[in-house]
């Protein structure tokens, strides 16, 4: 069974190392959220899931470079709309 690498439960960014993790109110590192989405025990931005899709699309070039995958903005948005609802922040 392949081990799942931790990802931010808000944006989906890999949490490969502690430098990428957000912080809880007590200053400890969050196991669930990245430093861009979460600080001092709360989300850094209030946004809808669709706004998160659009935010992630802004980083599409970097993602394509890191993943080696090619996709258009439309394809990426479609994938994000399927993926984000599985993350803790966006689950009903």
Instruction: Confirm if 22 and 6 have CB atoms less than 8 A apart.
Output: no
As a whole number of angstroms, the distance between CA 35 and CA 55 comes to: 15
Residue 59 structure tokens: 């980083």
So what's the pLDDT on residue 58?
A: 93
The residues spanned by each domain of the chain are 18-86
Each residue's pLDDT, cut to its tens digit, for the chain (92 residues) gives 667 789 999 999 999 899 999 999 999 999 999 999 999 999 999 999 999 999 999 999 988 888 888 999 999 999 999 999 999 999 97
Q: At what angle do helices 49-57 and 73-83 cross, to 10 degrees?
A: 140
Q: What is the pLDDT of residue 66?
A: 80
The pLDDT score that the predictor gives to residue 1 is 63
Q: What's the predicted TM-score (pTM) here? A: 0.87
- pLDDT at position 2 is 60
């Amino acid at each position: 069974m392949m081990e799942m690498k931790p990802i931010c439960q808000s944006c989906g960014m890999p949490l490969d190392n502690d430098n990428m993790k957000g912080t809880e109110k007590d200053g400890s590192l969050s196991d669930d959220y990245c430093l861009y989405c979460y600080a001092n025990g709360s989300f850094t931005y209030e946004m809808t899931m669709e706004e998160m899709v659009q935010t992630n699309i802004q980083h599409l070039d970097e993602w394509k470079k890191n993943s080696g995958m090619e996709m258009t903005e439309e394809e990426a948005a479609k994938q994000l709309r399927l993926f984000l609802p599985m993350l803790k922040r966006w689950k009903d």
